[in-house]
Each structure stands twice: as structure tokens, then as C-alpha cells.
Structure 1
Amino acid sequence: MTKLTETQTIILSAGAQRPDNIALPLPKGLAGAAAKMAVNRMIALGWLQEVDANLRRKEPLWRETGDGHGTTLVVTDAGLLAIGFEPVKAKMMSSTRAIVQAQPVAKPPTPRAGTKQALLITMLRQSDGASMQEIVEATQWLAHTARGAISGVLKKKLGFVVTAERIEGRGTVYRIEGPVS
């Protein structure tokens, strides 16, 4: 299975949330040759499909075909599966394109056992959570590294809901919301 880049994940995730799973507009800062290269790679992998744009519905254009028509980009079922969304139903429109509605797959992330990331998750899942000082001592990370792991890996990459609460005598205490293990 091909590993998604951050750009590919952003494009597919945004498209999965839009009506008709349209992948446009692309993320800010992605334009020109870089955009073309990223999109062509995703089309080759089967994650995006170029389809005729419905100009009456003012769908965004990927490219113009030269005959007064244009194309747009749609996230395919394979693209939805690549980001962990399961295609549920397809309703046929008057055009030849189907609208795909997606729901997230209920598969919790499972980190490798014995890693500092797994230790961090275990600490934050405890009912009393973990303070930054406790995290730093347990992982031997610097405080900024621990905060980066919480916001970047746990929240953004793995999708955990992490809360922070200031507690007298302990400082900021972090917890993962949801079922306690």
C-alpha cells in the first residue's frame, strides 16, 4: 500500500468533506508544476478522477478543455479508503457522475507497543491525565517536543481529542478524551 504524503492527505480529506467529493480548491501554496505533479500522481494511484465540471453549478475547474468545457477533480472510492473513509452509498445524478457519501471507518489508531508515543498515549488516557513535567520525566523528551507530539501526532495525525486543564499544584494536565483504558 502506498503511504500518503501530507499534501495528499490534505487534498483527499478536504475533498471527502465537500459536496460531490470535489477535491478543488487545492491547498494554499500548491500551484503550478507542483500541483500538476501531485494531482497526476494521485490520478495514477486511482485516488482522484478527472471528470467534466458542471459549470451551471459553478464547480471549480481543474483545467479547461478548449471547447467551452472544463474538468474538475473528484475523490474516488479508493481515495476515500486511502484516508480511512469508507464509501457508503452512491446516488446517480443526471450526469454520468455519482455522488459518494463517506463515513469514517471506526478503527482506532494502534501505536506500536514499547514506543515513547505509546507511553504518551497510555499516560494521557489515565483518568487523572498527565502533567507536562510527568510526560517529560517519563519520555525523556524536552517540553517543546512533548507539546509537539501532542498537537502534531496525537491530535492531527492520529485524530485524538486531547484536552488541557490547568490544575493547582500540577500545572497543565493533558488528557485524551474518550474511553479510558
Structure 2
Amino acid sequence: MTTLTETQTIILSAGAQRPENIALPLPKGLAGAAAKMAVTKMIEHGWLQEVDANIRKGEPLWRETGDGHGTTLAVTEAGLLAIGIEPVVVKTTAAIHDGVEAEPEVKHPTLRTGTKQALLISMLQRPEGATMQEIIAATGWQAHSARGAMSGALGKKLGLVVVSTKDDARGRVYRIGQNH
């Protein structure tokens, strides 16, 4: 299994939070040859794919195709799985009841066991919670990546509420709180 770099994790996590999993814009400071190299490697792994950009919807361009159109980058299902997010599967039914199309059934994201995200959740669910130092030691992430995972993947994608409290002995402690 390929280990994601910090930049790859940031690109995939940001894309997973955007409509239609659009991976653009890339992180600040990633441009030119470095951006092209990072994106090319991610396309080779199957984590990103180039798709036609819908300019009318304001989708950002990755490159122009020369015919007045362009492409953008989208996170693939493999890219979502690489960061521990199960792709949301939407099943549309063709059944028509009383002339009205049935509502599509939405499968909510499910957590895969054995991922760093699952480890983070289990740490935050403990009664004693977890400090940033404990999270960093357990996952190997940098502090900003751990905070991003708590805010993005846990908060926005999974709807979990992460609360922090100040403990005199341990410092700042993070826990999964109650949804209000």
C-alpha cells in the first residue's frame, strides 16, 4: 500500500469536502512544476482524474484543452478510500410511484477499521479523550493534519462534534462531544 504524502493528504481531504469532489484549488504554495508533478503522481495512483470542467458552474481549470474548453481535477473513489473515507453511494431508482420519481437512497459514509481516521475516532471517544501529542504519536500526522482531520473528515463529512477542553495536567484535550 502506498503511503500518502502530507501534500497528497491535504489535496484529497480538501477535494472530498467540495461539491463533486473537485480537487482544485490546490494548496497555497503548490504551483508550477511542483503542482504538475504532485498531480501527475496522484493521477498515476488513481486518486485523481481529469474531468471536463463546467465553466458555467465556475469550476476551476486545471488545464485548457485548446478548443475553448478545459479540465479540472476530481478525487476518485480510490482517492477517498486512500484517506479513509468510504465513497457515498447514491442509488437512484427508476421506479415511478403515482407519476413522481422516488427519492434516491443515500448511503452515509461508513468507517473502515484499521485506518488512521478510525484510530483517531477511537482515541477521541475514550473518556479521557486525547491530547494533540497523543494523536501525533499514534497517527504519525503533523498537528495541522490532525486538526484538519478533526475539522474536515470528522466534523464536516461524518457530522461528529469534536470538543476541546483545557486540562491543567495534560494541556488541551480533544473528545467527541454530543451533536446538538
Name the TM-score, length of structure 2 as normaliser: 0.63
Distance 2:41 2:71 in 1: 17
Match of 2:111 among 106, 114, 123: 106
1:85 match: secondary structure: coil
Instruction: State whether structure 2 residue 143 is matched by structure 1 residue 152.
Output: yes
Residue matched to 1:3: 3
What stretches of structure 1 of length at least 5 have no aligned partner?
Answer: 93-100, 112-120, 136-144
Tell me if the contact between 1:49 and 1:73 (Cα under 8 Å) persists in the aligned partners. yes
Further displaced range: 39-48 or 155-164:
155-164
Structure 1 residue 22: Cα displacement:
0.6
Summarize the alignment of residues 1-181 of structure 1 with structure 2, pairs less than 5 Å apart: 1-90=1-90, 104-107=109-112, 125-127=126-128, 146=133, 149=136, 152=143, 155-156=146-147, 159=150, 161=162, 163-165=164-166, 170=168, 173-178=171-176
Letter in 1 for 2:147: K
What are the superposed Cα offsets for residues 9-51 of structure 1, whole Å, 9 maximum, x if unpaired?
1111111111111111000000000000000000000000101
Change (3 A) 1:102 1:68: farther
Tell me if the contact between 1:80 and 1:102 (Cα under 8 Å) persists in the aligned partners. no
Distance 2:27 2:88 in 1: 26
Percent of counterpart pairs with the same letter? Answer: 58
1:26 match: secondary structure: coil
Distance 1:153 1:13 in 2: 13
Structure 1 residue 148: Cα displacement:
9.3
Change (3 A) 1:153 1:22: closer
The count of corresponding residues between Structure 1 and Structure 2 is: 144
Further displaced range: 101-110 or 25-34:
101-110
Tell me if the contact between 2:53 and 2:71 (Cα under 8 Å) persists in the aligned partners. yes
Tell me if the contact between 2:84 and 2:115 (Cα under 8 Å) persists in the aligned partners. no
Distance 2:9 2:174 in 1: 23
Change (3 A) 1:6 1:66: same
Distance 2:34 2:145 in 1: 29
Name the TM-score, length of structure 1 as normaliser: 0.63
| Larger Rg, first or second structure (1 or 2) | 1
Letter in 1 for 2:20: D
Tell me if the contact between 1:22 and 1:73 (Cα under 8 Å) persists in the aligned partners. yes
Tell me if the contact between 1:85 and 1:102 (Cα under 8 Å) persists in the aligned partners. no
